[in-house]
Amino acid sequence: MSRPSVVVVGDALLDVDLVGAASRLAPDSPVPVVEHVAESARPGGAALAAALTAADQVDVTLVTALGDDPSSRRLRDVLPSRVCLVELPLRGELPRKVRVRAGEQSLARLDYGDDATVGQPDVALLEAAIETADAVLVSDYGRGVTAAVHELLAIAAANTAVVWDPHPKGSVPVADVATVTPNRLEAALFTGGASSRSLTDVAAHAKTLVGKWRAKSVCVTMGGDGALLSFGDDSPLVLPAPRVTCVDPCGAGDRFAGAFAAALASGALPSEATATAVAAASEFVRVGVARALRPAPTRHDAGDSGDAFQRARQVRDNGGVVVATGGCFDLLHAGHVETLRTARALGDFLVVCLNSDHSVSRLKGAGRPLVPQADRAQVLNALDCVDAVVVFDEDTPTEVLHKLRPHIWAKGGDYNGRTLPEASALATWGGQAVVLPYLKGRSTSALVSAAANRVRG
């Protein structure tokens, strides 16, 4: 079965980060001195939207303007291979945004290449790309690509779900788009009103824009407050965002619009797409753009231990953080799930080291486990927060940990100041053992005892 497809149309940029450490001020002026600077480049603008959307298990084609300048060549190199590229001619230098950062804090941004112009597109090539799409995402940064293909987009909107992420300097959305996704400030600007956090004001702006743009709906993104979806009536849908610590909001709008388009391409309703996009954008700002662009580890069948070791190695090689946890997980309960979710939040790839049936029997006594290891592994692998399961037969997972070499070993329990027995193993490769809080009163033994008492009663 083929995967849904999304065509992203818009202006690509090259984002460059100069990241260093700042611990002192310059002696000649009160500005931070950034030392030990490392440079990295990544897709920006519509190219970022395409790269992020490709992580949503859809096929992505990016229609954008590129030239033969150094920034265009570099963008081609950093664009993920899973994104198919259809190029319009670009005259001049591809716009480049250089951010000077100290850790996670941006100190300055330098912009280059603002005079580039977009040439005439190959209409037949673009028509072929757009006609086969399940959804089209217009990522307009006001630099000419959207204007160059505006007529094609007007035709596409009549037959395909088009999500339009607008820009104050960009093109007016074509009629009949599935949704337009301005942020709260843009929605006020497009209506000539004042920006406000009031839901009444945001709803009024969205309703006005549905009529002004002749759109099927308008979804206003509200940052940490979530999103408001309006079909032009007086009772819009509001989706609050989960409370997260924001690492870097750069690109959150691209993540939202891309997730919305991917959801529509997969057959979701606009309300469902809004919920999906709010969750995706919230997770994006929690981890930051650099971590979000890392290749996501693929999921495989339960118990494929050799594959788990290989995937953990790939995550490490890509700069990701491998987390491991362990236990019997006999009768999975809410305490287990909470611990697994917390462990997964510590990194990019969670491996569960699962005691085998023989190991559980030695540790827990006769009659345990209640659930065989194959079933326990299958249930764990069904959880979104678990990326892989490794079954071990020893009393402790030390041998497995030496093969996995995780950055973090996380165990749930009541912290009492004692060192975890696995800590010494983690220390040999620079890893860290940590204790996670557990939900009071949840345990497999308590469940077994309660069930037995009810049977006797």
Residues catalogued as catalytic: 254
Give the E-state strand segments of 223-268 in sequence order: 227-230, 237-239
Please give the C-alpha separations between residue 294 and each of 53, 259, 287, in angstroms, as whole numbers.
Answer: 13, 17, 11
Q: Closest Cα to residue 359, out of 323, 397, 331, 320?
A: 397
Which pairs from 256-259 meet CB under 8 Å and 24+ separation?
Answer: 256/181, 256/221, 256/227, 256/280, 256/281, 257/49, 257/137, 257/139, 257/163, 257/165, 257/181, 258/6, 258/8, 258/49, 258/50, 258/52, 258/53, 258/56, 258/137, 259/52, 259/53, 259/56
**Of 358, 359, 326, 341, which is closest to residue 426 (Cα–Cα)?**
326
In which residue are the tokens 């118990």 written? Answer: 303
Q: How far apart are CA 408 and CA 433, in angstroms?
A: 6
For the chain, the C-alpha Rg in angstroms (whole number) is 25
> Helix/strand/coil (H, E, C) string of 127-194?
HHHHHCCCEEEEECCCCCHHHHCHHHHHHHCCCCEEEEECCCCCCCCCCCCCEECCEHHHHHHHHCCC
Listed in sequence order, the residues at least 6 apart from 212 whose beta carbon sits closer than 8 Å to its beta carbon are: 190, 191
Strand ranges, E, within 251-407:
322-327, 349-355, 388-392
d(Cα 47, Cα 44) in Å, to the nearest integer?
5
Which residue in 394, 348, 356, 353 sits closest to 375, CA to CA? 356
Spatial separation of the C-alpha atoms in residues 367 and 425, rounded to whole Å: 31
Helix (H) or strand (E) holding 338: helix 334-344
CA distance 9 to 199: 31
Q: Is 212 exposed, middle or buried (0-12, 13-18, 19+ CB in 10 A)?
A: middle
Q: How far apart are CA 418 and CA 420, in angstroms?
A: 6
Quote the tokens at residue 443: 């345990």
